[in-house]
Amino acid sequence: MSDRYSIRLHVTRRVLGTILVFVGFGSNAGNLVGQSSDTGVEPPIMGGAPTMRLMDEQQYTNAISDVFGTDIKNTVRFPPVRRTDGLVALGATTAVVTSGALETFEAAARDIAAHVVDEQHRLLIPCRPANVKQPDDACAREFLGRVGRLLYRRPLSADELNVRVAAAQSASEKLNNFYGGLQSALSGLLVAPEFLFLTEATEPDPTLSGAVRLDGYSRATRLSLLLWNTIPDEELLRAAGAGELYTQRGLTRQVDRLLASPLRVQAGVRAFFDDLMVMEAFGDLTKDSTIYPTFSLKIASDAKEQALRIIVDQLVTRNGDYRDLFTTRHIFLTQALGTIYRVPVQAAGATEWVPYELSENDPRAGLLTQVGYLAVNAQPGRTSPTRRGRSLREVFMCQKIPDPPPNVSFTIIEDPNAKYATMRDRATAHSTDKTCAGCHRLTDPIGLGFENFDGAAQFRIREGNAIIDASGELDGISFHDGKGLGQAVHDNPNIPPCIVKRLYQYAVGRNLSKDEKPVLAYFEQRFADQQYKFIALLRTLVTSKAFYQVGVDATDKPRSVTALNGQ
Amino acid sequence: MSYSKSKLSRRSILRGIVGASAVSVGLPFLECFLNGNGTALASGAALPVRFGTWFWGLGMDSEAFIPKKVGPDYDLPPEIESWKDIKQHVNLLTNYHVITDGKPNVCHFTGWVALRTGSVPITRGYYPGASIDVTIGDVIGGASRFRSLDCTATGNDRDSYSFRSADAINAPVTSPIELYQKLFGAEFQDPNSPNFTPNPNIILRRSVLSGVRDESASLEKRLGTADRARLDQYFTSIRELEERLALQLQKPAPAPSCKVPGPMNGKELNGLDALVVAERHRLMADLMAMGVACNQTKVFNMVYSISGASTVRKGLEKTHHTITHEEFVDDKLGYQPTNFWFLQRAFESYAYFIKAFASIPEGDGTLLDNCLIYAHSDQEFAKIHSITGVPMMTAGKAGGRMKTGIHVDGKGEPGTRLGYTLLQVMGVNGGEWGTGSMKTSRAISEILV
């Protein structure tokens, strides 16, 4: 394990820049922190604090599957974690394990451990005890050492392993059963904070006197969480232990390996977009059965999966341009979803999902004209232009729309005798009333552009007797329907910087500090240079210095940089 | 009377031998058995008082909710006509305000946060302190199988108003079947069962947990202040679970009111239709009340609808929340008709909840007589998000300490006066509760015995 020193850190930007030039980080002596990235060289940053994230439910499930196989089911339930600055991943770095939460973790740990040692699964244990009714320290040591290293994302220390083996021995004696003892020790590993909390560790940086860096195992975990949404595998742990993740060459080799596994990368990409797009809202998605009789629970759950499949298809399988998410005609349907699209769907083979190419004349194109986005951001029995517009602004454009004032007056639209032919007419009040217009002009023109899709995302030309007018403009770009709006989103200059920022925040588990603006600009430039390929952005990020940079050690103690040799 | 958290030394717990006699553990509640006629504990102390909360979103229609009469035997306006059989158990508190001292009135947030934590939040998502049930649970909740029982009738596992902080929210149970399994499933110990054998696995489980505590303690040295506090909370949770497991090694005290419900069929209840919510609520209320009667917990929380409720009704294109903003106020009725409909449903469910506790006999009265249940909403008039006069109720006599059946007009006083009163009754409080203009040290004497 890494040592910790208590040295006070006083590093000004100029000093840091000078140091980095001295050690060869920047070939351009003028490339100090705070300047632009015109040279194509990554600007240095101070870095934030190492994080201690509470694992989430999907990561926990992935970890158990990876270590013990997909056959071992778990019933773990995680408490609600707060969404901080648009991401639950940030809330994970402040989340606490309450009594109630620990109870479910302990129950899940026992269940999992019991399954792992049962007769059907014992082949997971690499050795056999000399006598099944008695302890066998050697076998327990082999199993617990191997499993502990994977679960803790680092080798267990001699003390840690000895204690676990002693616990297994004691329990085996009490139960007259080797496997019972192993089960007990394993359940301890699974409920330990070293497993549940993904705690980053720092060590002194040998290349920079007085500075700290994330240790190899912490790098491995950051990398694996982002790319695969799971704990590091055996090979990544080996590379971490061998110091390979400190070198660009060693790191690149692992990144290449991780990115070469499409199913795993899909899991990572899914987890990010699930968080970014607030997909927990699908849990509440229902529609009124008299107004939208077609819309079933199956459609609601398929809609979420459809969105994720479209994202993964565009960004991973096709390795396409991120912006084309808003214009793509490659979608996926099930028989249930087909009823919304009015397309008969016949699944063939093992999966109910069928790839479907929207025709050039189809009114739909892009993620925002599919069921998920349109139905979630709507009322049970009608559309909501404001919600559809707000979602786009906040999720994909990183623009915060303020809450409405508490005593806003709805007099204009609440008249029961008013005859509004269309939603656009009703929403006119939003744009004419001064109190409302400020925020609503940012959201409603977008949402009204999707009015050809009703509250259940079904296409329509009319609302009642009136032909729907879905024209509008997005930050100066005009469109005349939802497909055109998708193109306007594609062309909007806020789209690429927003995804870069959100991905970076998600990856490092915290908000940005001011000195990170140049490095974000650098990532944005690289993203553009690489045709906005999301996989390329991931690669740029995980092979960057910024991704691993920490400015303080894990104990928050400020570090100081002593004068450099010869400086 | 106050309940101190039981303090157990490891040595005292681990004297037992697996498979042999039960470990002897001294705990305030378990060593007391009921007296001969079941009206009190054998030691002469009263039956323990339990604390619960009930939450609903979107306030009330003052024209149809606030009784004309102040004091006992209040009238029941149309929105709460369903309370006719429970009125005698319920104190209704109106005209108590949330005063923000210039902080913004964050819609569907400021009101309930202030009434639940004592303090007005500065911004959305900011919880200024623990919810009142957690504060009370810290004192009375220790010697029970569950520190608290948290349920939501909305079916959504994020809907909870029980928390120590925004980072420590108690996860709710979201379905009746899940609640049944939690309370009365495989790990339930029937307090009235004539046979009791301590489960040997419990000792093993406890030793696993104490091992985790010992082995992982050094992790703290490698953390900063904030993360160390989080790890401390984790260790506290471990210790609490160890203590609760220790209880299960002792034969539980008899609970004459406890009637274990039969197995449930797993009926699918999906969505937020008001009738589905009512059904979920009904089934969970019955289980929750029986869980309390069976001494599985002393603290319980039910969410009927969230702040800014998304409840729906068949044929309506909008949610309840949108209705509150877009529906006209009927001149003749003096309220919004559809909003009224939704709120009537909420108050019907409230009546069911109180009845569930009132229908279980305990001692020489009912379970409700030994409970104190605090209900409140997020707004007064949801249309304009007002927080002057957010409705609040209490139900139950709190073991004889509370009067019931009284309508109190708060005359604009801070609503925290009720929370302060409840803390006093539950034996928890120091000298005051709340901050700023919500700070108070005056109980509402009209409802105290």
Q: Does the distance separating the beta carbons of A194 and B219 come in below 8 Å?
A: yes
Nearest residue in B to A192, CA atom: B212
Query: Do B77 and B64 meet the contact criterion of CB atoms below 8 Å apart?
Result: yes
CA atoms within 13 A of residue A9's CA, in its CB half-sphere? 23
Q: How far is B224 from chain A (nearest CA, A)?
A: 4
Q: How far apart are CA A350 and CA A369, in angstroms?
A: 27
For residues A321, A326, A330, A331, the Cα torsion angle rounded to the nearest 10 degrees is: 130
The runs of H, that is alpha helices, within A370-516 are 371-376, 385-391, 411-414, 423-432, 434-448, 482-490, 495-508
Angle at A400 between CA B127 and CA B155, to 5 degrees: 55
- Same domain assignment for residues B278 and B210: no
Chain A nearest CA to B42, separation (Å): 31
Residue B309 falls within a domain, yes or no? yes
In the stretch 95-134 of chain A, residues with CB closer than 8 A to chain B read 95-104, 106, 110
Q: How confident is the model at residue B18 (pLDDT cuts 50, 70, 90)?
A: very low
Asked if A290's CB is within 8 angstroms of B315's CB, the reply is yes
Joined together, the tokens standing for residue A521 give 């600009």
Conformational region of residue A330, where left means phi above 0, alpha means psi within -120 to 50, and beta covers everything else? beta
Instruction: State whether B239 and B345 are in the same domain.
Output: no
Q: In 3-state terms, what secondary structure has residue B184? A: helix
Residue B441 has pLDDT above 80, yes or no: yes
Q: Determine, for residues A199 and B227 on separate chains, whether the beta-carbon distance falls below 8 Å.
A: yes
Tell me how crowded residue A5 is: count the other CB atoms within 10 A of its CB. Answer: 13
Domain boundaries, chain A: 1-50+211-260+530-567, 52-199, 270-402+421-490
A496 vs A487: CA distance, rounded Å = 14
Residues in chain B with CB shorter than 8 Å from the CB of A413 are 326
Task: Tally Cβ neighbours within 10 Å of residue A451.
Answer: 23
Residues B338, B336: Cα–Cα separation, whole Å: 6
Residue B84 lies in a domain: yes
Is the same domain home to B303 and B158?
Answer: yes
Residues B88 and B135 in one domain: yes
pLDDT tens-digit map of B322-358: 999 999 999 999 999 999 999 999 999 999 999 999 9
Q: What is the chain A residue with the closest CA to B124?
A: A403
**Could you report the per-residue pLDDT of B240-273, keeping only the tens digit for each?**
999 999 988 999 989 999 999 988 877 789 999 9
Tokens 């912490």 — which residue?
Answer: A218
Residue of A52, A98, A104 for testing the chain B interface, max B β-carbons within 10 Å: A98
Residue A79 three-state SS = coil
Give the A window 239-258 contacts with B, CB below 8 Å. none
What proportions of chain A, in percent to the nearest 5, are helix, strand and coil? 50, 5, 40
pLDDT value at A469 more than 60: yes
A557 pLDDT band (50/70/90 cuts)?
low
B253 part of a folded domain? no
> Between chains, do B208 and A184 touch, taking CB under 8 Å as contact?
yes
Q: What are residue B163's phi and psi, to 5 degrees?
A: -160, 155
In total, how many domains does chain B have?
Answer: 2
What does the pLDDT look like over A6-52, one tens digit per residue? 333 343 444 444 443 333 333 333 333 344 445 589 999 999 999 99
- CATH of residue B424's domain is 3.40.720.10
Please answer yes or no on whether A556 and B225 come within 8 Å at the CB atom.
yes
Domain of residue B236, residue span: 1-31+199-248
Q: How far is CA A495 from CA A270, A372, A392, A393, in A?
A: 19, 20, 10, 10
pLDDT tens sequence across A119-143: 999 888 999 999 999 999 999 999 9
Q: Which pLDDT band, with edges at 50, 70 and 90, does A294 fall under? A: very high
The stretch A54-71 carries a mean pLDDT of: 96
Q: Do A283 and B169 touch (CB under 8 A)?
A: no
Contact across the interface for B148 and A80, Cβ inside 8 Å: no
Task: Identify the pLDDT of residue B376.
Answer: 98
pLDDT, mean over chain A: 89
Of residues B222, B225, B241, nearest to A99 (C-beta) = B241
Which of A455-469, A550-564, B255-269, B322-336 is predicted with the least confidence, judged by mean pLDDT? A550-564
Q: Which of B212, B273, B328 comes nearest A191 by C-beta? A: B212
B237–A415: do the CB atoms touch at under 8 Å? Answer: no
Q: Are residues B26 and B56 in the same domain?
A: no
Average pLDDT of the residues of chain B = 89
- Three-state SS for B238? helix
- A101 CB contacts (<8 Å, ≥6 apart)? A78, A79, B171, B237
Q: SS3 string of A108-156?
A: HHHHHHHHHHCCCCHHHCCCCCCCCCCCCHHHHHHHHHHHHHHHHCCCC
Where do we find the tokens 């759950």? Answer: A301
Q: Do A193 and B384 touch (CB under 8 A)?
A: no
| Over residues B205-228, mean pLDDT | 91
Alpha helices, H only, A277-356: 297-312, 335-341
Q: DSSP character for A453?
A: B
Residue A77 near chain B (CB below 8 Å):
yes
Residues A352, A332: Cα–Cα separation, whole Å: 10
Give pLDDT, residue B429.
Answer: 65
Q: Do A79 and B165 touch (CB under 8 A)?
A: no
> How many residues are there in chain A?
567
Q: Please spell the DSSP secondary structure of A5-66, one letter per residue.
A: --------HHHHHHHHHHTTS-SSTT--TTS--TTSSPPP---B---EEEP-HHHHHHHHHH
CA B94 to chain CA centroid, Å, is 20
Selecting from A79, A174, A199 the residue whose C-beta is nearest the C-beta of B170 gives A79
Please tell me which residue of chain B has the smallest CA distance to A168.
B208
End-to-end, the C-alpha distance of chain A in Å comes to: 32
Rounded to whole angstroms, what are the CA distances from A326 to A329, A420, A500?
A: 9, 31, 16
A52 and B205 within 8 Å at the Cβ level: the answer is: no
Q: Do B105 and A406 touch (CB under 8 A)?
A: yes
Q: How far apart are CA B174 and CA B169, in angstroms?
A: 15
Strands B149-152 and A197-199: unpaired
B167 contacts in chain A (CB < 8 Å): 81-82, 91, 94-96
Test A555 with B169 for CB contact under 8 angstroms.
no
Q: Does residue A267 or residue A409 have the better pLDDT?
A: A267
**Amino acid letter, A321:** D
Residues 422-441 of A with CB under 8 A from B: none
pLDDT at A413: 67
Q: B58 near B343, Cβ under 8 Å?
A: yes
pLDDT tens digits along B300-317: 999 999 999 999 999 999
Same domain, B431 and B311: yes
Local structure of residue B223 (DSSP, 8 states):
S
Residue B384 lies in a domain: yes
- Which chain B residues touch A552 with a CB distance below 8 Å? 224
pTM to 2 decimal places:
0.91
**Interface contact A288, partner B, CB < 8 A:** yes
What Å distances lie between residue A467 and A462, B289, B414, CA to CA? 4, 55, 53
Q: Give the whole-number percent of chain A exceeding pLDDT 70.
A: 90
Q: Token pair 């003052």 is at which residue? A: B62
Are both B72 and B133 inside the same structural domain? yes
Whether the pLDDT of residue B3 is over 90: the answer is no
**Hey, are the CB atoms on B158 and A80 less than 8 Å from each other?**
yes
Q: Do B6 and B121 have their domain in common?
A: no
Which secondary structure element, helix H or strand E, spans residue B230, and what is its range? helix B225-247
Q: Do A410 and B271 touch (CB under 8 A)?
A: no
pLDDT exceeds 50 at position A431: yes
Do the chains contact at A284 and B107, CB–CB below 8 Å? no
Give the nearest partner residue to B208 out of A49, A187, A288, using CB atoms.
A187
Q: What is the mean pLDDT of residues B372-384?
A: 97
pLDDT of residue B39: 55
User: Which of A374, A380, A363, A327 is closest to A468 using CA atoms?
Assistant: A363
DSSP reduced 3-state for A333: strand
Chain A residues with CB inside 8 Å of B233's CB? 96-98
User: In one letter, which amino acid is A445?
Assistant: P
Q: Which of A49-58, A150-159, A328-337, B208-217 has the lowest mean pLDDT?
A: B208-217
Q: Confirm whether B254 is domain-assigned.
A: no
**Mean pLDDT of the region A343-349:** 88
The CA distance from A515 to the nearest CA of chain B, in Å, is 22
pLDDT at A399 over 90: yes
Q: Give whole-number Cα distances, B19 to A168, B193, B203, B248, in Å.
A: 18, 19, 9, 14
The mean pLDDT value for B114-126 works out to: 96
From chain A, pick out residues whose CB is under 8 angstroms from the CB of B207.
Answer: 167, 170-171, 184
Mean pLDDT of A427-440: 81
Shared domain for B244 and B264, answered yes or no, is no
Q: Which two tokens mark A24?
A: 């060869």
